[in-house]
Amino acid sequence: MATPDDDDESRAEPHGAPTPRPTGLWQQRVGAFSTIPELLRQLGTDPQAVLDAAGCPVEALADPDARIPYALCGRLLQACARGSGTPHFGLLAGRAWHLADLGLVGEMVRHSETLREALETLVARQHMNSEGGAAFLWVRGGVAELGYAIYQGGTVGAEQIYDAVLAGGTNFLRELCGPSWSPSEVLLAHAAPPDARHYRSVFRVTPHFDAEYCAIRFREAWMDRPVPGADRERRRRALERAGAVKPPLMQGVYRTLRLQLLAGGCSGDSVAAALSMHRRTLNRRLQQQGTTFQHCLDQVRFEVACQLLSTSRLPLDDVAATLGYASVSPFMRTFRRWSGTTPAQWRRSAGAPLPERLPH
């Protein structure tokens, strides 16, 4: 499926290496990551040794309201999985997440009138907690989807992040709907483990692995159910405290690009409209940041390609379509220019680490 900006193969080629925004500055609120040291102890593992391997000081996780680099999240979860000998560590970590761990965002969500209002609030305000990945909500054909997509460049341990987020999202939905709620389907963009019982235990269904994106699907009929115990006054006070906080320009651009790629198309005009500005204004502001729209799009595509190639067995044709290419050929040429190797060769190398930015 070609995007409006990629209506022929020549335009699908990258236009030089972008000068990216310093994505290492994007942050993640600690929240339930503060429970990781105790979870490691329960697994019989020394937290200090594992956190040292991830480059994460133990004190960095002490305060749920503190911030850590988003890039650290995947490294931390991956180090925990390896250090504890628990490949599904992200799933265990996410199983401990609750709405209260989201701080002010969780308060707004928990005291929404209906599930629809709650999830719309979660998606709209999620950037207050996490700056390297975007939550999304789709409702179509009687099915609702609550999902998450990483746009932080060079993310290590993306599969661990996705497991944690979807496990946490499942907990949130059960808090909002009651214990009788269950997903109809769970999509995970990584290969199936040898034993999926841990996933069945958390989700109550066997996930669809090797998916193009990560999401929890459930019946739309749940969307207008009232949230038990919601307190409108508490929600009003939380909204007042939160104010109208919008993400900074570059974060907004990257988030919007990632979400529009998920929706099947992406253009400069549509991104500008989503950010409530004229296309010329967007181009000018990106130029002031030392980059262009095409460079940002290339970088987001590069990250998504790296994630899908390294963690899933999705066919190359499907990877290309997910990135908005009309066929696999322009994607293969572009990926070689980005990485110096073909997608198939890079996948066979077990996903050798790639940098946060495209090479010059």
pLDDT for the residue numbered 348: 84
Count the neighbouring beta carbons within 10 Å of the beta carbon of residue 62: 11
pLDDT tens column, 12-43:
333 333 333 344 579 999 999 999 999 999 99
pLDDT tens column, 317-344:
999 999 989 899 999 999 999 888 999 9
95 part of a folded domain: yes
Main-chain phi, psi angles of 219, to 5 degrees: -65, 135
Owning domain of residue 13: 9-20+248-348
Among residues 242, 261, 289, the one where a domain terminates is 242
Q: What is the C-alpha separation between 99 and 172, in angstroms, rounded? A: 6
CATH number for position 295: 1.10.10.60
Whether residue 190 is found in the same domain as residue 255: no
pLDDT at 115 over 80: yes
pLDDT for the residue numbered 22: 47
291 part of a folded domain: yes
152 part of a folded domain: yes
Cβ 204 vs Cβ 212: under 8 Å:
no
Q: For 13-114, where are the alpha helices, taking DSSP H only?
A: 36-42, 47-54, 70-84, 89-95, 104-110
pLDDT tens column, 70-104:
999 999 999 999 999 999 999 999 999 999 999 99
In the DSSP assignment, the letter for residue 193 is: P
